[in-house]
Amino acid sequence: MTREEIQRVQLLFAQLQGALKMATLYPPNHPLPREAQRKLLDLLMEHLAAAEHLTYAFVGGLIFVDGIVLPRESLVYQRFSQFCQEQARIGSLTFFPGIAAGEVEALVQFLNQSQQGDAAAWAVQKGLDHIKIGPITRTGKEERELLARGAYRGTIQILRDIETAIQSREALDVEDVGQLRFLTDTILQQIIQDPPLALRLASIRSYDEYTLHHSVNVCVLALGLGVFLGLPESLLRELAVAAIFHDLGKVAIPLGVVHKAGPLDDLEWRTLRRHPVKGADILSRISQGYRLPMIVAFEHHMQYDALGYPSLAQGWRQHPFSRIVSITDVYDAMASRQPHQPGIPTGKVLAYLREQKGKIFDPDLTDAFELMLASFAEKE
Ligand SMILES: [Fe+2]
Ligand SMILES: [Fe+2]
């Protein structure tokens, strides 16, 4: 879906909410609800002129459109999504080309009755040919998987937007960070219920958008380790945001250096090594509540023995979150196939982690990470 299409389906959803609101405030023949429904119909017709259908799906706390998660709408219209699933038992709403004013009106009326009922049967009975109401048919496990994967893809979209904004010298948008947080919370909730899910999610890779997927995979693995260690949920939520932003500073490094095939020369290497400082600088501009992402971005290459970069004052100790991220960072970077470099087998990656215990990596956390991989793999 293009950016404009996404904006249109967001607008469309807001218009549906507007039409519902108007219908509760005014009698059916009042011009205001009529006008709201007409606008909704116009938007639907405009969208469906170029699409075979349009589906909004409600899955737990997330709202999807044609399989893409809408983070902002999921947050803003939580009550509606909950109502659809819990009271009306609606899993999805699909609109088809040819939709007419009467069908929009009937849908608005039905949704406003807010009583428990079989929505799907109702649509068939009313003869709504261009609106299909899908029931909820998922099991708990299927729902968890859908939610986690949807939220994973959503974080990629938001990170992409954040990168574009920073590259065009705009400040980090607090609303984007809030949505990212909402999605990482969603992922966290699923991992708490099904810890091995962390490994399944971390195996989603992209060759074209390596850095974005790497950021999310490092976050997911860090959450897996955090859950395995039994960290409290409040800390895990902070860990998620910190981990996802660990390489944010790379947006300020020329792409030619970040994606270079073959070894870097001296100057390029020095440039790349500035990404922790750059990342901390970008993250320092968001509010006080977000100090941990700044710390983790700054320290993730510092190493356990403090011999990494940037070089720091003597006695500086790496934050435990930076130690966690430094392990999941190297693990993901080695295990996944990057531009110009194939992935390395897990056994070899683990051998490297073991070899660097006490040097690059915190020994206890490295042991825990290895135990986690074994334990989750066993449960799969
Ligand atoms: Fe890094
Ligand atoms: Fe990284």
pLDDT in tens, 305-337: 999 999 888 889 999 999 999 999 999 999 987
CA distance 41 to 255: 44
Ligand with minimal distance to 300 CA: 1
Ligand with minimal distance to 212 CA: 2
Q: What is the pLDDT of residue 219?
A: 98
Q: What is the pLDDT of residue 349?
A: 95
CA distance 282 to 278: 6
Decide: helix, strand or coil at residue 64. Answer: strand
Report the separation in Å between the CA atom of 298 and the middle of ligand 1, taken as the mean of its atom positions.
9
Report the separation in Å between the CA atom of 191 and the middle of ligand 1, taken as the mean of its atom positions.
24
CA distance 361 to 318: 10
- Residue 194's alpha-carbon distances to 197, 332, 352, in angstroms, are 6, 20, 28
CA distance 110 to 51: 25
CA distance 57 to 115: 20
Residues 6+ apart with CB under 8 A from 20: 80, 108, 111, 112
Report the separation in Å between the CA atom of 217 and the middle of ligand 2, taken as the mean of its atom positions.
10
CA distance 274 to 62: 37
**Strand-strand pairing, 90-95 and 131-135:** antiparallel
> Whole-model pTM?
0.91
* Positions of the chain with pLDDT lower than 70, given as ranges: 114-117, 287-289, 338-340
**In the chain, what are the domains?**
3-137 (no CATH), 141-379 (1.10.3210.10)
* Span 84-131, pLDDT tens digits: 998 888 999 999 999 999 999 999 988 887 566 677 777 778 888 999
Structure tokens at 12: 């469309």
